Amino acid sequence: MRHSKIKIQYLKLGREKIWGHADDYPLKIDSRIKGKKKLEIVIHECTHYLLPNATEQEVERISIRLTHTLWHEGYRCIDQDNKIPLQDGSK
């Protein structure tokens, strides 16, 4: 079985006052977020895409848990920004 990646488009979403959304495809992520918060939002929006019937609470729980796990395992983008808290207020 061949797996393809989920397509993400990076845009400034400040006017919408959101970090990202999965209402359209490709998924939209605010291009200004960095570090651990970016990881969280990518996971969050991908979870919405993969589990369209999941509640917002379920998506948040999954994305926060995976973010903490991957960050603990050493996942990092080029930057190391960890200043913006996750959806549950944790860093």
pLDDT in tens, the chain (91 residues): 456 889 999 999 988 899 999 999 999 999 999 999 999 999 999 999 999 999 999 999 999 999 999 999 998 877 667 788 888 888 7
- Cα–Cα distance measured from residue 8 to residue 85, given in angstroms and rounded to the nearest whole number: 22
SS3 of residue 10 by DSSP: strand
Instruction: List the one residue out of 52, 53, 50, 30 whose CA is nearest residue 41.
Output: 30
Instruction: List the one residue out of 89, 90, 84 whose CA is nearest residue 30.
Output: 84
pLDDT at 2: 52
